[in-house]
Chain A
Amino acid sequence: MFGYVRPVVPELKCKDFDLYKATYCGLCRTLRKRYGIFAPLFLNYDFTFLALLLHEAEPRLAFSMGRCHANPFRKCEMCIESDSLNAAADESIILTYWKLRDSISDDTGWRGLSSRFFALILKPAYQKAARRSPNFDALTQTCLSDLARMERDNCPSLDRPADAFARILQGAALEEPAPARRRVLEELFYHLGRWIYLLDAWDDVQADLSAGNYNPIAARFGDAGGEENLTATLNHSLNLMRSAFQLGEFGCRSALIENILYLGLPLIQRAVFDGSWGELKKQRIWSNKR
């Protein structure tokens, strides 16, 4: 999706860094096993966070050794296969596919062409994923068509288009059997989706204005900015995510998730506001080197 959701690595304990990497590698392996060799191309940090949150709470990380997909000579620790990792993989594929479809209709020229190409590669995987998670796929389509309608109507509300997007992520918790945990995850995912949508809208506001595209922030605040209001509402979503997180059980993943919620997301938010996000985005998080 966007790559906004990442931990602040220097603040992580070594074991939590290993846990993050094991989740990333575990999701990569699951994608490859379930959806073939191209699927891991679409792996990113956002989906890793999804997998972290969906994972069953366990007191200590259970991992196995496996070969890296990108470099088969290297062996690394991976989370063992589980239902939650499978669900995260299915949902990642569906979200990526629809994001690509969306960019095909939005972008022209080179970017549109590359989206077309990737959507074509991903289509068989998407069809499989949609069969495995029909509810999530249906929800995604409904919400995206709501969103498209609001974009067409130049909807002046900040919350309504964000709501359509947030409900998609909220749907990631759809299959969670325990009701209390499902509610916690739904609230967390909802505000994660809201936060991502609005931050992305802020990041794009200049480009959208010059291209004449719909942008919820421009539609709500006009050219005058509205930076202060937006910061407050983004921080509020962060706080609601944190309050929800405190009510859930995440076992050994708690400290890592906390790092992302309390340090990672605010850092990215500041970077998007002060314009340093473009640089930050290119940084890889697997080494401490800049």
Chain B
Amino acid sequence: MRDPYTVLGVDPSASDDEVKKAYRELARKYHPDNYQNNPLADLAEEKMKEINEAYDAVTKQRGGGAASSGPQASGAYYQQQQQYGGGNPTYARVRSCINAGDIDTAERLLGEVPNRTGEWYFLAGSIAYRRGWLDEAAQNYSIACQMEPGNLEYRQALSLMRQGGQAYRSANFSGGMDTLDCCTTMMCLNCLCGGGRC
């Protein structure tokens, strides 16, 4: 395992607060929300695991006092696996192929499904998204939403497309550059502190 302080990017002489701050910033950077259905999601997950372990190790070294009051070190930001239940068994297989990154198989399986439901279009959108075909992904998500307007998963996917995705943005770059900033809370904080150019 790499030196936990190197992983967190702080000096071993840093105060507990500085360590916590560095950890939070990194957790924000590799947050699963920034890597939804992203072909690199597994790499982000590894990074997240690494910083969680590093933070655990540092808090333990320092007497463990901060661990309980800290940002619930392991898995605080980490677990976001969704459960998909019921429905067409082919769809479940398509989903697992997409998650495993086997996009061609997913597409072939989906092509064999005779009638196209809202979920069919949602999965077609997810496949397009993994290829980087963002416009076709948006079109498919939008059909899925029209067919099943009540489905939260589809609506979330579509709204991510409408806002143009999201990525981590450090404080240096958060000042009013994009109208659709990834992190509304950061903007609000900026306004409150009078920083940035909101």
Q: How far is the CA of A157 from the CA of B137 in the complex (A)?
A: 12
What are 14 A-B pairs at a CB distance below 8 A? Answer: A159-B131, A166-B132, A180-B43, A183-B43, A232-B163, A233-B135, A233-B138, A236-B164, A238-B164, A239-B182, A240-B167, A242-B167, A247-B47, A262-B169
Does any Cβ of B come within 8 Å of A246's Cβ?
yes
Determine whether B197 belongs to the interface, using a CB cutoff of 8 Å to chain A: no
Q: A184-B43, A244-B40 are in contact. List 14 more A-B contacts (CB 8 A).
A: A159-B128, A159-B132, A159-B134, A183-B40, A183-B43, A187-B132, A232-B161, A233-B164, A234-B164, A237-B132, A243-B38, A246-B168, A258-B173, A263-B173
Q: In the complex, which of the residues B47, B128, B134, B173 contacts A236, with contact meaning CB atoms closer than 8 Å?
A: B134
- Nearest first, the 3 A-B pairs at minimum CB distance are A235-B164, A159-B133, A239-B165
Q: Which of A174-200 contact B (CB under 8 A)?
A: 180, 183-184, 187, 190-191, 194
| B170 contact set on A, CB distance < 8 A | 258
Report which A residues bind B (CB closer than 8 A).
Answer: 157-160, 163, 166, 180, 183-184, 187, 190-191, 194, 220, 229, 231-240, 242-244, 246-247, 258, 262-263, 266
A163 and B131 contacting across the interface, CB-CB below 8 Å: yes
For the residues of A in contact with B, the DSSP-based class is helix
**Binding-face segment, B15-23, B28-36, B85-93:** B28-36
* Contact in complex: A236, B165 (CB < 8 Å): yes
The smallest C-beta distance from A81 to any residue of chain B, in angstroms, reads 30
Q: How far is the CA of A232 from the CA of B47 in the complex (A)?
A: 28
Does the CB pair B135–A157 fall under 8 Å?
A: yes
A159–B30 alpha-carbon span in the complex (Å): 27
The docked-state distance in angstroms from the alpha carbon of A25 to that of B18 is 39
> Is there an interface contact between B38 and A240, defined as CB atoms closer than 8 Å?
yes
Give residues 104-152 of B contacting A (CB, 8 Å). 128, 131-136, 138
Q: How far is the CA of A190 from the CA of B134 in the complex (A)?
A: 12
* Residues in B whose Cβ lies below 8 Å from that of A220: 135
Interchain CB contact (< 8 A) of B177 among A158, A160, A163, A263 = A263
**Which residues of the partner chain A approach B43 to less than 8 Å between Cβ atoms?**
180, 183-184, 247
Shortest Cβ distance from residue B186 to the other chain A in the assembled complex, whole angstroms: 14
A239 touches B40 (CB 8 A): no
B-chain residues with CB within 8 Å of residue A159 when the two chains form the complex: 128, 131-136
State A184–B30 Cα separation when bound (angstroms): 14
Shortest CB distance A248–B (Å):
9
Cβ of A237: which chain B residues have Cβ within 8 Å of it?
Answer: 132, 134
Smallest CB-CB separation from A188: which chain B residue? B40
Chain B contacts for A262, CB-based, 8 A: 169, 173, 177
Which residue among A184, A247, A258 has the maximum number of chain B CB atoms within 10 Å of its CB?
Answer: A247
